[in-house]
Structure 1
């Protein structure tokens, strides 16, 4: 299994984020799960890659050329794909991955995971999309998504397709057990 990881190019302001992401990277590697991520060597991006590599895992990076120096492309990966732009990055990560997981991060993390979640709703793929909810990081977002459902903009079945876990073990189990709902326009 290959899991696309979306996460911050910063470490956040709590060591719990660094420690939690490191533990996830190590766990995925020990379980034989490959990591596909944005290719950087900074922030939580670097933490997940280094943790998986140090535990003997395979890590594939996908980085746009304009971010190669800014996010300091990781040179020790199993594979590094340098692509032309962000659109190609997201398409390549989607192509390579069997599942998608958002770790704590910023606007870019949300944009990436929301895009693949949307693609899942539309039936463009049947891969699981998950939020790794370290220290309750995503609880405010979950509340917003529930508000969208209550206002009639998101069907309950599409909320239920999102995996929300906070430990490596429960996250991987949920990814493996995932069953996609009917596509939105079927």
Structure 2
């Protein structure tokens, strides 16, 4: 039997207690899932968005779409595919990401972060960088300096020593991510 391609996986809305997930003190529940994004909520309101760069709010149910830009946590990655036999392609930071005005925790996975400065107005407190790429570490540091509310940066081995040192000099809490994070 052949595995279905990502675009062949049907979208679904998970309702009721069967959609509950762990975390968020056991109060989080899956509000929406499709191959490009899934939304975890607290008390029926969107709280976390896990998405790819192909996110389109018009594909969300109306009750979620109205409130999606008020989420507190956002994780952007290039794909949700578990097929690691193929080389993962990195995506750029999409322009629509700056529309999320309440994001306090922002996680990037397989993202090119050269345009991080486009997010300077977000109230990000925790920036998580895992499997990222960039061309200009000074530009990345300059963008990080513009985050007025930033308190913590978590990172993996994809950060080179120069960028790590420059971030350390900003007096932010730094955390090295474990491979499983």
Query: Which interval holds the TM-score relative to the shorter structure?
Result: 0.3 to 0.5
Structure with higher strand content:
2
- Larger RCO: Structure 1 or Structure 2 (Cα < 8 Å, ≥ 6 residues apart)? 1
- Report the structure number with the largest CA radius of gyration: 2
> What TM-score comes out, normalization by structure 1 length?
0.36
